[in-house]
Chains A and B, each alone.
Chain A
Amino acid sequence: EVQLVESGGGLVQPGRSLRLSCAASGFTFDDYAMHWVRQAPGKGLEWVSSISWNSDKIVYADSVKGRFTISRDNAKNSLYLQMDSLRAEDTALYFCARDFQIQIWSLDSFDIWGQGTKVTVSS
Chain B
Amino acid sequence: QSALTQPASVSGSPGQSITISCTGTSSDVGAYNFVSWYQRHPGKGPKLLIYHVTDRPSGVSSRFSGSKSGDTASLTISGLQADDEADYYCSSYTSSRTVVFGGGTKLTVL
Does B21 touch A at the CB level, under 8 Å?
Answer: no
Residue tally, chain B, CB below 8 Å to A:
26
User: Bound complex: CA of A74 vs CA of B104, how far in Å?
Assistant: 33
Q: Which of A81-123 contact B (CB under 8 A)?
A: 95, 97, 100, 106-111, 113-116
Listed in ascending order, the chain A residues whose CB lies under 8 Å from chain B are: 4, 35, 37, 43-47, 50, 59, 61-62, 95, 97, 100, 106-111, 113-116
Q: Total contacts A to B, CB within 8 angstroms?
A: 72
User: Bound complex: CA of A57 vs CA of B61, how far in Å?
Assistant: 34
20 A-B pairs with C-beta separation under 8 A: A4-B45, A37-B101, A43-B104, A44-B3, A45-B46, A47-B100, A97-B46, A100-B57, A107-B93, A108-B36, A108-B51, A108-B52, A109-B36, A109-B52, A109-B91, A110-B38, A110-B46, A111-B51, A111-B57, A115-B43
Which B residue's beta carbon lies closest to that of A100? B51
A114→B45 contact, CB < 8 A: yes
Which B residue's beta carbon lies closest to that of A42? B104
A44→B99 contact, CB < 8 A: no
Chain A residues with CB below 8 A from B3, complex form:
44, 46
B45→A109 contact, CB < 8 A: no
User: Bound complex: CA of A107 vs CA of B3, how far in Å?
Assistant: 16
Among the listed B43, B44, B47, B102, which residue makes an inter-chain contact with A44, where contact means beta carbons less than 8 Å apart? Answer: B102
Interface string of B70-110 (1 = CB under 8 A from A): 00000000000000000001010100011111111000000
B45→A116 contact, CB < 8 A: yes
Among the listed B38, B51, B98, which residue makes an inter-chain contact with A61, where contact means beta carbons less than 8 Å apart? Answer: B98
Which A residue's beta carbon lies closest to that of B55? A109
B45→A108 contact, CB < 8 A: no
A44→B101 contact, CB < 8 A: yes
